Structure 1
């Protein structure tokens, strides 16, 4: 404390001086010292010479002391309750303050790695389960303004099983459903439409069941197989269209809207146009499906 008192004496201040008085006094003395240096060689006016180095040293000592006191008060206020562990608590707090984003990034990275591992394990498990199943005789995609089960994301495995019941000679049927809004009334509808377009880019179903709106979109793109040469399809159920490469009309779909298909399978909708994918893996089975339900009115 003697050194602190001496520092205040050098500046000509009492120990009770506040920060503003300290700053003002230091500023005045520095200016006076520099003015004296500029007048060196001139006649002295008898004023007491100011030692700039001494007042700067005293000023820094007081500032360092005040900073140390402020840190001690802060530590006591925030970490005093930890008593002997206060130092460690403060270090841990500082660590979290400066590295919180690094920690958060590490946690997110671990979550991503965990999710990736889980997804990989789930995928391998799913592939192993699929390997145990018999090969699919047909894959069907209901694509349009349709609902099944509890909602748009309902499990369609029962749908495939119900289709399989219609064909005793088959071993397995894969069924999917993609809901496509008929009108774009909200951002959600727009998102669903964009999602349905992505589905088409990756889906390899043999048979598509569509509403008229989506049939009118898919047929002109050459996505469906022409059915002109197939016998047994009534003329009033034939759905024709032109493609970008062929300007003449051909049969690309069969209207099953008036059949019992939707009721038997539990699919909610009003229009059901069946079309076979242009490069279907099982085109004959797809045609068998169409003729089977076409006869059920």
Structure 2
């Protein structure tokens, strides 16, 4: 049995000021008495137990046994539940001790999966998705979306895809942004675009956008300031063998230049929403899905 140092001193009947030498002398007396009783045959069971008790106390005070007795743990409701369920709590504790890191990793993975599923389930599908490409002001995106939903009640949720691309800024991530832009034009649900002139020129000649002449006429949009956006879509290009040389036009799809974008830079809508600079060109995908909402959005941006 293990004792505290306080209990050990009481057993040996010594004070807190006793030195190790005093403890040794005291134990010598006890040991001699024990040996004498053993030799005389007068050693009883009680005396044997008393000697063992004093020996344990002596070893603790001398530092031969440094462990002090553990305070018995009170049985908790959890312990009782384990007993009632017929489960060995010690085995469960050992399992968690050896596999705690595996369990933690599993819990983290479950949380990540649950969060992803929750975001997918609770995610609201946008009524319309707008692509903003050029020198994008990301801080203005929330105001931009709020202003759209405020002015067009049919649009409850606006999806937004932004791509930072500019011929004036040398960005090391440009190649990545160019790939994202290609995906937006080729394989996304984005039907409406706000573009810089630099981006417009990159994709308009390849037929990425819908001609806006009839739309502008029907919506009574003044397009005089947008004449510079009239062009002929190219049917086929002459591809140079030298990558440093520019490609040239082999044939056009349009017989006459058409309006493939509307300049909305000076629109009232953008007076307090500077989401894109320095130019803002409105363009629509060549084969849009929700033309009714697109026309309302075009009218809002152009007025």
Relative to the length of structure 1, the TM-score reads: 0.51
2:118 maps to: 125
Q: How does 1:63-82 map to 2 (within 5 A)?
A: none
SS of residue matched to 2:214: coil
2:275 maps to: 267
2:301 maps to: 293
SS of residue matched to 1:218: helix
2:127 maps to: 137
| Larger helix percent | 1
Deviation, structure 1 residue 114: 8.4
> Against the structure 1 CA distance between its residues 258 and 115, is the aligned structure 2 distance closer, same or farther, given a 3 Å change threshold?
farther
Indicate the structure whose relative CO is greater, using CA pairs within 8 Å and at least 6 residues apart.
2
Quick check: 1:276–1:287 contact (8 Å CA) kept in 2? no
Quick check: 2:269–2:300 contact (8 Å CA) kept in 1? no
Superposition CA RMSD, Å: 3.0
Q: 1:222 aligns with which of 180, 186, 207?
A: 207
> Against the structure 1 CA distance between its residues 117 and 138, is the aligned structure 2 distance closer, same or farther, given a 3 Å change threshold?
same
SS of residue matched to 1:205: coil
Unaligned runs of 5+ in 1: 1-106, 151-155
Q: 1:208 aligns with which of 193, 208, 220?
A: 193
Q: Distance in 2 between matches of 1:114 and 1:207?
A: 42
> Against the structure 1 CA distance between its residues 118 and 294, is the aligned structure 2 distance closer, same or farther, given a 3 Å change threshold?
same
- Is 1:247 the counterpart of 2:254? The answer is yes
Quick check: 1:138–1:285 contact (8 Å CA) kept in 2? yes
Deviations 1:19-47 (A, max 9, x none): xxxxxxxxxxxxxxxxxxxxxxxxxxxxx
2:47 maps to: none
Quick check: 1:241–1:251 contact (8 Å CA) kept in 2? yes
Deviation, structure 1 residue 274: 0.3
Quick check: 1:180–1:196 contact (8 Å CA) kept in 2? no
Deviation, structure 1 residue 290: 1.6
Quick check: 1:262–1:268 contact (8 Å CA) kept in 2? no
SS of residue matched to 1:288: helix
Quick check: 1:139–1:207 contact (8 Å CA) kept in 2? yes
SS of residue matched to 1:280: coil
Deviation, structure 1 residue 268: 4.2
Relative to the length of structure 2, the TM-score reads: 0.50
2:149 maps to: 164
> Against the structure 1 CA distance between its residues 203 and 182, is the aligned structure 2 distance closer, same or farther, given a 3 Å change threshold?
farther
Deviation, structure 1 residue 236: 0.8
Deviations 1:101-130 (A, max 9, x none): xxxxxx9xx98x988766643332122112
Deviation, structure 1 residue 208: 0.2
